[in-house]
């Protein structure tokens, strides 16, 4: 069965410093991996997705994620945090096992300090 | 934005009453999902559908039922609402989740309060 572990429930960074949000996944099949962002009282927006074409994936708003199969990780990074990045971030896994499900991590709330 | 409409957007109901939430899509996607979002739990899958009249349970299906009589509509019913079902409910759709590159698109959510 698929599963996702987001290693930090809260992360605080200062504006202009790097962001690292950690995600580990488990899947017995070839996984599809996604990061979504949710701003307060809003819906979910796709940040980026792993397509298997490249292990380093670029997304919107300067975010990137690197797929590391040997570490079963898909960590989200951004070189320089902006105040508008404050939100909750979800790592999501799907796979080609035929179960058709998207499994969410428990989320990481990012706080950006001025 | 993907054409997904959830209704109602907000609802307050009393314990023991039945409640139905509706998800309507205009994308003709085969797969539809209902999730609930609670602090500290992320989004948890309640039920999903892989076609008209084809549904299956997710990880938190107790107390919920679903129906899908046509491609565009996926209904979530709480037969007898309880306070533990107070939550934000999200509908999602997908073209083909088993195929890589295919993400889920989410509605704006329904905030349900059971008093």
- Residue B95 confidence (pLDDT) above 90: no
Rounded to the nearest angstrom, the minimum Cα separation between A32 and chain B is 6
User: CA A27 to CA A2: how far, in whole Å?
Assistant: 5
* Residue among A99, A93, A32 at smallest CA distance from B57: A99
pLDDT of amino acid A77 = 98
Contact A104/B44, CB-based, under 8 Å? yes
**Greater pLDDT, A106 or A96:** A106
Average pLDDT of chain B to the nearest whole number:
94
- Residue A7 confidence (pLDDT) above 70: yes
Contact A100/B50, CB-based, under 8 Å? yes
- Residue B99 confidence (pLDDT) above 70: no
Across the range B91-102, mean pLDDT stands at 80
Mutate to test the interface with B, among A39, A41, A101, A105 (most CBs of B within 10 A): A101
Q: How confident is the model at residue A94 (pLDDT cuts 50, 70, 90)?
A: confident
Mutate to test the interface with A, among B42, B55, B94, B107 (most CBs of A within 10 A): B42
pLDDT of amino acid B98 = 66
């Amino acid at each position: 069965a698929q599963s996702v572990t987001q290693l930090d429930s809260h992360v605080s960074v200062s504006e202009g410093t790097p962001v690292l949000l950690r995600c580990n996944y488990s899947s017995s099949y070839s996984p599809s991996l996604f990061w979504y962002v949710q701003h307060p009282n809003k819906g979910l927006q796709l940040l980026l997705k792993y397509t298997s074409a490249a292990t380093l994936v670029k997304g919107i708003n300067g975010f990137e994620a690197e797929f590391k199969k040997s570490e079963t990780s898909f960590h989200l990074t951004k070189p320089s945090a902006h105040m508008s990045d404050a939100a909750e971030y979800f790592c999501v896994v799907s796979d080609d096992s035929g179960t058709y499900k998207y499994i969410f991590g428990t989320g990481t709330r990012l706080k950006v300090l001025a | 934005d993907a054409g997904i409409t959830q209704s109602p957007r907000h609802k307050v109901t009393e314990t023991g009453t039945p409640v139905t939430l509706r998800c309507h899509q205009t994308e003709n996607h085969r797969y539809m999902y209902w999730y609930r979002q609670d602090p500290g739990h992320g989004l948890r899958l309640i039920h999903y559908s892989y076609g008209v009249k084809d549904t299956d349970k997710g990880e938190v299906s107790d107390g919920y039922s679903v129906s899908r009589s046509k491609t565009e509509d996926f209904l979530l019913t709480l037969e007898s609402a309880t306070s533990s079902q107070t939550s934000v409910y999200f509908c999602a759709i997908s073209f083909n989740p088993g195929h890589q590159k295919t993400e889920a698109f989410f509605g704006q959510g329904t905030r349900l309060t059971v008093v």
